[in-house]
Each structure stands twice: as C-alpha cells, then as structure tokens.
Structure 1
Amino acid sequence: MTRIVFLDRETIGPSVNLNRPRGDHDWVCYDATAEDQVVERLQGAQVAITNKVPLRRATLEQLPDLRFITVAATGYDVIDTAACAELGITVSNVRGYAVNTVPEHTMALILALRRSLVGYRQDVMDGQWQASGQFCFFNHPIRDLRGSRIGIIGAGTLGRSVAKLAEAFGMIPLYAGRKGERVRDGSYTPFDEVLETADIITLHAPLTDTTRDLIALPEFRKMKRRPLVINTGRGGLVNEADLVTALDEGLIAGAGFDVLTQEPPADDNPLLTILDRPNVILTPHVAWASEEAMQSLWQQVVDSIEAFLGDEPVRTVVHAKRRDLV
C-alpha cells in the first residue's frame, strides 16, 4: 500500500479541508517536522508532501522508497531537484492558485499606504480626533491612485494580475525590463526608467542569484518620485537594511512588505525597528493565504498525487523515469 506523508500541515490554514487522494493508501500527517526528523518520518514512504521542510541530497539518499514529492507551494527551492532527478524522484509543485489573493493583498498595501490608513487609525486610537476640535484633521498625506504610475517588476501571472487591478483604479502600469539589459520588447520599460518615473514600485519576481538585492541603495537613489515600495514576491529581492536607510533619508514614501529574507524574522531584522512608522506595513507572509487560495492549493496537491499514482504526473519540475511503487 502506498504510504503518503505530509511533513508540515501547520503551513496551511486550519480551515482548509484536507481531503485525501482517492484509493487505498497509508496516510500520515505531521503538524511540523524538524530537519533531523525527516529521514525517520519518511522511511517507507513513496509520496512526500512538503511546503517548507527541506529535502536535500543527504536526506534523499537515505530514502530508497521515495518516488514522488509534491510541494504545497509554487516555489520549490527547498527541494534538491538535481538529486531528485538522479535518484528517480519526480517532483511537482502548485501553480496559479494565488492569482487573486496576492494581487488583492498588493493593492490593499498600496491603498493603505497611499491613503495613510495606518497613521490615521493610530491617531484615532491615541485620542487625537477626539481632541482635534473639528470634524477632521490632516496629520498624514492622502494621495489618489488615479493617474499614478505603478512600476511592476516581474511580469508573470501575478504581476499582470496586479496591473489589471491597477488599471481599474486608473493607474498606469509599467512592466520593468531586466535590470542592466536593453529593452527590445515595446511592452516593457527599461528598469532604470521604471525606478525614476514610478509612483509605486511592486515586486513579483522570483528570487534567484541575479535578482537577490535587486533593489538596494543605488536603486533607491534613482527613485526620483519618492515611490511606495511593495514586496509581496520574495524576501531578498530588496536589501532590507538599505530599505530602512531609504526611508530614513526620504528616498521613498513608504514600504509595504509581506516577505522577508528570513521567516520568521530574526530579532535583529532591520525592518522590525521601523514598525511604529505610519508609512510602513509588514504582514507575515500571508498574501497567498486567502481561504479560497489555500483550498485551491490543497486540491492541486491532491490532484498531483492522484496523477502521479496514475502514471500521468502533472506540474512537474522534475519528471523522473517511473520506478515501481513498493
């Protein structure tokens, strides 16, 4: 009987219905798994489900029965894909489930910062409205979205979905070309021009060796219009220490981040020092986590297991030669 092990159930919200794959199987589910527990827990398993638990070569080489890994996320950097290919382990991920939730979260951050909702909410909580003596007061700037330019770094599904929402608000989307490269496609705007002319910059690119610290102090200094900087993409795309410097020097108008280089953040993360500022919002990597998106994600996980067991794997990032299941 096929043994299926889910290593980190707590990475998916408790409201999600964890329906199981069809057919006979041995199902084991752990809330969380430390790296030194992986080998023991996956012994005898043919199918592993992981979201953030790493599966590296040294671990995989100790799991001769493992045939399939399904990642409960789009990013699969926790998996040693080269080792999987050599060991005959197929790997699938999930895709497209966040097409609504991440863009909506992005726009929520933009609206909250552009209209200074955080600052005004705090003012009311502090009693300033009650003491103001008039029907309103003007402690923080409020800007409309219509007519503003939104620079989008990463023109994949999520970036383009953000552009559609932005256009509905009357904004002007600019898709940034690759940093340091000449733009040959008229639908893209040179990277530096986006930095110089955008009122809002939002990141939706993957984290790679070439995109790490994509925006650091030299890029902040090119931002002539003091834009908002929004990151719901990946931690590490923006240099966090330089972001604080940019805020301190007034190079940008504010920042809305849902992702950090280390999650959960270490106590010395520079962004934790500026959370009391009205122009900063930090959310705990939940842009993807609407109820609808999480249920869609899980259904893709189940579908991928059923497809693999039916010898027709889907959404593969490693398509290994099929080995008989134990």
Structure 2
Amino acid sequence: MTSICVLDGHTLNPGDLDWSVLAAFGDVEVHERTPAGHILARAAGKQVLLTNKTPLDADTLAALPELKYIGVLATGTNVVDMDAARRLGIAVTNVPGYGPDAVAQNAFAHVLHHISRVWEHHQAVIRGAWSAQPDFCFTLGRLESLSGMTLGLVGFGDIARHMAAIGAAFGMKLLVTSRKKPDDLPAGAEFVPLQTLFARADVLSLHCPLTAETAMMVNRENLALMKQGALIINTARGGLVDEAALADALHQGRIRAAVDVLSSEPPSPDNPLLHAPNISITPHNAWATVKARQNLLDIALANLDAFLRGEKQNRVD
C-alpha cells in the first residue's frame, strides 16, 4: 500500500474540498501546515509527498530514502530542489493551467475597483452621503469607461489570453509584448516592444514568469513612461516589481496600481506598497476560486495516478 502525506493542504483545501479521494491510492495523512522542524518527521517512510509551499531541500530529500514521488500542488516548483530530486530518482510533477480564468477575473475585479469605484460609493451611501444630497445622484470623483482604453499585456499565456477576451468584451484596444511574437494574436491587437507598451497602455497587466530578464521590469525608468492615471496590475510574481519605485509613483499620484502578489509573502509590515495610496491589494488569492482549486486537486490526483501506473503526466523532474 502506497504511503502518502500532504504536507500543507490548508491553502488548497480550507475545508470545502474532499481529501478522501486520495485514499484510493494508499494510506493518507493530511496536515494543514508543516513547520520546518516537523518536515522530516512527517515525511519519514512516505513514498509520496504532496506539497504546496512546504520546502523540500536537498538535505531533506537525501534523508528520505523511501520517497519516490513529489506532487507540487501548484505550477511553480521552486519549493523542491530539482537537482537533488533528479539525482535521487524522485519523480516530481506540477499542476499547470488549473485556473487562468480565475486569475483574469481577479485582475479585472481590480480594474473595475479603480475605474468604477463601486466600494467607495457604497461606503459613502452607507455613511449617509446620498441621503444628504440635493440631487438624485452624486460622484466622489471621475468615473471612467473601459471602452476605448488600451489594455497592455506583458506576456501572452493562458491568463493573458483570458484578459484579452475580457478586455475585448469591454471594447478595449490591445497591445501585447512577450519574448516572441504569438501566432494567435487577436484581430486588431498590436505586438509592440515593452517600453512602447508602458508608454501607451491605460491598463497594463503583467503575465510573465519571473526570470533574470523580467525581474524588476516595473522600475523607475519604465514607470516614468506611463500615462498620467494609468493602472498597472500584477497577478504574476512580486519580483517583477521594484516596490519602492512603484510606491513613490503612487505617492506622487502619477499612476494607480493593483497587485495580488508581493516580493515576500506574507509581506513584512514595512512593505512600502502597504502604505501607498491609489493601490488595491489582494493576498495572493486570485487563483483560489473553488472551481480552480478543485481543478488543481483533480489534476494533482491524475498526476499521481499516472505515476503509479508507470506513466508520465506533468513531470518536471
């Protein structure tokens, strides 16, 4: 019987999904979280480990001779020392493409937060501001229309493609930049250099991986290119942004920002974006709709099933 341990299941399943399906594959232990000092004790003797953010470094892997398989409950695999896994013959899988629509939905929720200002007006109404008005309506400031605005996408993977479709439904124009020109750009979309995209976009959304080339791409130089009042969105990776530079631009009132990711998570209390104006922040939960999490669990189970049948699915080792 295969021995299975879920090291940190709470984020994927805070209680609304069903872990019991894992029992079809063997004996299962599920831990909501595993502190660093408990990893070895919980993983000892297990043939299968499932992890989201609990790190499995080279020393840990070397101390687990019975371990045959690691299923990462996410797309990124930086929590596993991949070189050590290959050297030790441990299979590693990830879960790609489980919720691009969820992330795009979150990104546009941020867009509408800034463009339509629904929450600000709701709060004002509850405080009595509407009841006190001499007219039938009022606004707290400029309300904008997305129709005719330019949406700029950095990267053009699955999430960006959903963003493009939503933007088109709102009547937005589309600019795209990526490492190479996509073959399936939507009709009317322009493929432009990064700096051109920064200069022309009214809404600029990041959808690229964090690499040596993309790190800190949102820097003082590129921020200076942006239009007055432009909105920059980051649902990709916190390291794409120079947070001090972005905070300065926000304090100056030149641009607006919306982020679902930060350079360190949870953020330190002195992160400059936590105290900046003109920004909306969500706690890295764009991916976490019930539908997306169920998709993730289903793919993770299919990955494990394929491994146990001697097949390869979403192998990254």
TM tier relative to shorter chain: over 0.9
State the alpha-carbon separation in 2 of the partners of residues 79 and 94 from structure 1: 14
Q: Which sits farther off after the overlay, 101-110 or 23-32?
A: 23-32
Query: Equivalent residues in 2 for 1:240-319 (5 A)?
Result: 240-252=243-255, 254-274=256-276, 277=277, 279-318=278-317
Give the match's secondary structure for 1:304.
helix
Say if 1:9 and 1:30, in contact at 8 Å, map to a contact too. yes
* CA shift digits 1:196-226 (9 cap, x unpaired): 0000001111122222211011111011353
Q: Is the 8 A contact 1:151 1:202 kept in 2?
A: yes
Q: Deviations over 1:243-282 (max 9, x none)?
A: 1111112221x211111111111111112213xx4x3211
SS in 2 for 1:316: coil
1:234 aligns with 2:237: yes
Count of aligned pairs: 311
List alignment gaps of at least 5 residues for structure 1.
319-326
Q: Decide whether aligned partners of structure 1 residues 61 and 207 sit closer, same or farther in structure 2, where only a CA change above 3 A counts.
A: same
TM-fit CA distance, 1:117 = 2.2
User: Shift in Å at residue 121 of structure 1?
Assistant: 2.8
Shift of 1:183: 7.3
Letter in 2 for 1:289: A
| Structure 1 residue 23: Cα displacement | 4.2
Relative to structure 1, is the Cα distance of residues 33 and 141 closer, same or farther in structure 2, using a 3 angstrom cutoff? same
Output the amino acid matched with 2:289. S
- Quote how far apart the aligned CAs of 1:228 are: 0.4
Cα deviation for residue 184 of structure 1 reads 10
Identity among equivalent positions (%) equals: 38
Letter aligned with residue 266 of structure 1 = S
Partner of residue 32, structure 2: 31
Correspondence 1:202 to 2:201: no
Instruction: Give the Cα–Cα distance (whole angstroms) in 1 for the partners of residues 140 and 25 of structure 2.
Output: 63
Aligned 8 A contact 1:231 1:256 in 2: yes
Partner of 1:15: 16
Cα drift, residue 126 of structure 1:
3.5
Normalised TM-score (structure 1): 0.90
Q: Distance in 2 between matches of 1:93 and 1:126?
A: 48
Amino acid at match of 1:267: P
How far apart, CA to CA, are the structure 2 residues paired with 1:317 and 1:284? 27
Q: What is the rounded CA distance, in whole Å, between the counterparts of 1:50 and 1:184 in structure 2?
A: 33
Q: How does 1:126-145 map to 2 (within 5 A)?
A: 126-145=127-146
For 1:312 and 1:65, locate their aligned partners in 2 and report how far apart those are by CA, in whole Å.
20
Tell me if the contact between 1:22 and 1:306 (Cα under 8 Å) persists in the aligned partners.
Answer: no
Gaps of 5+ in 2: none
Secondary structure at the aligned position of 2:164 is classed as helix
Paired residues for 1:36-185 under 5 Å: 36-178=37-179
Q: 1:220, 1:170 → 2: CA distance? A: 25
Q: Report the secondary structure of 1:130's partner residue.
A: coil
In 2: Cα distance, 1:61 partner to 1:219 partner: 44
Q: Give the C-alpha shift of residue 79 in structure 1.
A: 1.2
SS of match in other structure, 1:104? helix
1:221 paired residue number = 224
TM-score by length of 2: 0.93
- Higher relative contact order (CA closer than 8 Å, sequence separation 6+): 1
Code of the residue aligned with 1:273 in structure 2: it is H
Partner SS, residue 150 of structure 1:
strand
Moved over 3 A (4+): 21-24, 182-187
> Secondary structure of the equivalent of 2:258?
strand
Distance 2:54 2:213 in 1: 24
- In 1, Cα distance between the equivalents of 2:246 and 2:201? 17
Q: Is the 8 A contact 2:250 2:279 kept in 1?
A: no
Q: Distance in 1 between matches of 2:23 and 2:6?
A: 16
Amino acid at match of 2:201: A
1:106 Cα deviation after fit: 1.0
Q: What is the identity, as a one-letter code, of the residue corresponding to 1:171?
A: M
**Which residue of the partner structure matches residue 188 of structure 1?**
191
Q: 1:301 & 1:39 partners in 2: Cα distance?
A: 22
- Which is further off, 291-300 or 168-177? 168-177
Counterpart of 2:293 in structure 1: which amino acid?
M
RMSD (CA atoms): 1.9
Q: Using the TM superposition, give the Cα deviation of residue 77 of structure 1 relative to its aligned residue in structure 2, in angstroms.
A: 1.2
